[in-house]
Amino acid sequence: ETGVTQTPRHLVMGMTNKKSLKCEQHLGHNAMYWYKQSAKKPLELMFVYNFKEQTENNSVPSRFSPECPNSSHLFLHLHTLQPEDSALYLCASSQEGTFTDTQYFGPGTRLTVL
């Protein structure tokens, strides 16, 4: 595997479910990001982790809980989501945690909340 991988690629869940999205980067980068891409809207930054420490939380509701156990892995734990949370969730990584670094994106997880 090379680059940034995300699992699962598709997820359907009910509002009372708990699920997790996984992201793994094989690039030796130190920063990882979660973005949300909703239909007809720009990509929205959710979280940034730099050297496993969260450096950015872009006013994301607490029903989204990120976890970064090491620089290669990033999770997004989902709990009691709403239908409006249905979107494509993209993970990205970069060498450092500055936005001037080129970010490398994963394929995304298409989430549907029923």
Partner 1 sequence: AQSVSQHNHHVILSEAASLELGCNYSYGGTVNLFWYVQYPGQHLQLLLKYFSGDPLVKGIKGFEAEFIKSKFSFNLRKPSVQWSDTAEYFCAVISNTGKLIFGQGTTLQVKP
Q: Which residues bind partner 1 (CB under 8 A)?
A: 3-4, 40-43, 45, 56, 58, 90, 92, 98-100, 102-107
Considering the complex, state which of residue 44 and residue 79 has its C-beta at the smaller distance from partner 1: 44
The letter for the amino acid at 100 is: T
Residue 111 CB, shortest distance to partner 1, in Å, is 17
- Give 102 or 112: the residue with its C-beta nearer to partner 1: 102
Q: Is 103 exposed, middle or buried (0-12, 13-18, 19+ CB in 10 A)?
A: middle
When the beta carbons of 47 and 64 are compared against partner 1, the nearer one is 47
- What's the min distance (Å) between Cβ of 30 and partner 1? 16
> If DSSP codes are grouped into helix, strand and coil, which group holds residue 27?
coil
Q: How far is the CB of 43 from partner 1 (least distance, A)?
A: 4
Can you tell me the distance from the alpha carbon of 2 to that of 5, in angstroms, rounded to the nearest whole number? 8
Nearest in space to 56 (alpha carbons), one of 25, 31, 19 = 31
Give the residue from 22, 30, 25 showing the smallest Cα distance to 53: 30
Cβ 35 to partner 1 shortest distance, Å? 8
